[in-house]
């Protein structure tokens, strides 16, 4: 009964490179959320996706960041031309439904370090 | 925009005592409020959900209250243990089914 799986757990990128973070939701879950957490800060909402649809990307930076959740395969958070300020922990969460009162389940996170 | 505030300072308590954590929110009227636990280097883990029409919810040594008039939730851990040491996050669900989190309160239970 696997939970939310994220990989890689740790990723080091040089400035200007691309970072791709993957998230496989819990079995049976079709809703995925991405959050960013900086040291000593809370979880910041980035994007909410369902299969093949972006429902809300109001928390995503306008440039360099994109997310997808294809019909087959994991959800991908892509950061192009990374900068030092992108260094953070990126958490993915999933849920089975979109109705109110739902619980979301988190993965263990992907720690991105930009050098 | 909605704002969620939790105890900004770390909370240190003696083992066996009751820990009380606070979550205040503004510009928002959530139907549900949730509490999560996060350990260093790990993802948040769901603990409890409370609905707006529920004043109190309990689960083992955990108790959550929800006062929609004060716009506040209190999270209590009774008979605290060192293993309860972690950061605790409150989360509100928006009308669009996104979840917004507070900054968390770091709890340390001293043996």
Mean pLDDT value across chain B: 91
Neighboring chain B residues of A29 at a CB cutoff of 8 Å = none
Q: What is the pLDDT of residues A33-67, one digit of tens each?
A: 999 998 777 899 999 999 899 999 999 998 999 99
Across the interface, whether the CB atoms of B98 and A101 are under 8 A apart is answered no
- Find tokens 């953070």 and name the residue: A88
**Interatomic CA distance for residues A37 and A44, integer angstroms:** 6
Is residue B38 pLDDT above 70, yes or no? yes
Average of per-residue pLDDT across B49-74 = 92
Shortest alpha-carbon distance between residue A105 and chain B (Å): 7
Mean pLDDT value across chain A: 92
Kind of pairing between the strands at B11-14 and B105-110: parallel
Q: What is the pLDDT of residues A15-25, one digit of tens each?
A: 999 999 999 99
Q: Which of A24, A30, A43, A110 should one mutate to test binding to chain B, selecting the residue with the greatest count of B CBs within 10 A?
A: A43
Interacting residues of B74 by C-beta distance below 8 A, sequence separation 6+: B20, B21, B22, B23, B64, B65
pLDDT of residue A23: 98
Higher-pLDDT residue of A9 and A104 is A9
SS3 A27: coil
**Interatomic CA distance for residues A34 and B6, integer angstroms:** 22
pLDDT of residue B1: 63
pLDDT of residue A100: 64
């Amino acid at each position: 009964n696997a939970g939310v799986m994220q990989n890689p757990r740790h990723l080091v990128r040089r400035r200007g490179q691309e970072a791709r973070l993957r998230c496989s939701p819990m079995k049976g879950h079709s809703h995925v959320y991405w959050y960013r957490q900086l040291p000593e800060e809370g979880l910041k909402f980035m994007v909410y996706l369902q299969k093949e649809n972006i429902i809300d990307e109001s928390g995503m930076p306008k440039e360099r960041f994109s997310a997808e959740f294809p019909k087959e395969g994991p959800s991908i958070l892509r950061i192009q031309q990374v900068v030092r300020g992108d260094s953070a922990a990126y958490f993915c969460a999933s849920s089975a439904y979109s109705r109110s009162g739902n619980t979301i389940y988190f993965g263990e996170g992907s720690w991105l370090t930009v050098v | 925009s909605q704002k969620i505030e939790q105890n900004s300072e770390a909370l240190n308590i003696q083992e066996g005592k009751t820990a009380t954590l606070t979550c205040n929110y503004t510009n928002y009227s959530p139907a549900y409020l949730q509490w999560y636990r996060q350990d260093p280097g790990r993802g948040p883990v769901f603990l409890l959900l409370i609905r707006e029409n529920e004043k109190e919810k309990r689960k083992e040594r955990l108790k959550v209250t929800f006062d929609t008039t004060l716009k506040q939730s209190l999270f209590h851990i009774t008979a605290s243990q060192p293993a309860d040491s972690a950061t605790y996050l409150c989360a509100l669900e928006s009308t669009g089914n996104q979840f917004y989190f507070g900054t968390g309160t770091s709890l340390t239970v001293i043996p």
